[in-house]
């Protein structure tokens, strides 16, 4: 899985941080999303999918990469 974020779209609601705190954080200056891990391990995939689904501003995209 590869995670992409769009900081211009982000409205800083923080739902992603609640769903997947190991993958998303908020910038200290303005609360906008930052990515902590662009290729999270399988154990976090469900939480990341949920974060993308509940993001109110569609600022999170999840790409499925091939499993080896």
Partner 1 sequence: MTTAERIDTDPGTEPGTTLPALGLPATRAAGCPFDPAPGVERALREEPVTRATLWDGSSCWLVTRHQDVRQVLGDPRFSADATRPGFPFFTAGGREVIGTDPTFLRMDDPGHARLRRMLTADFMVKKMEAMRPEVQRLTDELLDRMTEGRGAADLVAEFALPLPSLVICLLLGVPYEDHEFFQRHSGILLSLRSTREEVRAAQDELIGYLVRLADAKRDRPDDAIISRLVARGDLTSAEIAAMGRLLLIAGHETTANMTALSTLVLLRNPDQLARLREDPSLIKGAVEELLRYLTIVHNGLPRVATEDVRVGDVTVRAGEGVVCTLNTANRDEDAFPGGGGLDVGRDARRHVAFGFGIHQCLGQPLARVELQIALETLLRRLPGLRLDIPFEDVPFRHDMGIYGVHALPIAW
- The residues of the shown chain that bind partner 1, judged by CB under 8 A, are 11-15, 17-19, 25-32, 50, 53-54, 56-58
Measured between alpha carbons, how far is 8 from 37 in angstroms, rounded to an integer?
A: 19
Asked if 26 and 32 touch (Cβ cutoff 8 Å), the reply is: yes
Nearer to partner 1, 50 or 67 (CB): 50
Report how far apart, in Å, the C-alpha atoms of 65 and of each of 5, 10, 24, 39 are: 16, 24, 19, 9
Name the minimum Å distance from CB 48 to partner 1.
13
Nearer to partner 1, 29 or 66 (CB): 29
Name the minimum Å distance from CB 4 to partner 1.
18
């Amino acid at each position: 899985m590869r995670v992409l974020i769009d900081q211009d779209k982000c409205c800083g609601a923080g739902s992603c941080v609640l769903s997947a705190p190991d993958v998303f954080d908020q910038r200290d200056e303005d609360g906008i999303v930052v990515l902590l891990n662009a290729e999270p391990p399988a154990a976090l995939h469900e939480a990341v999918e949920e974060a993308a689904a509940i993001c109110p501003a569609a600022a999170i995209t999840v790409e499925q990469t091939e499993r080896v």
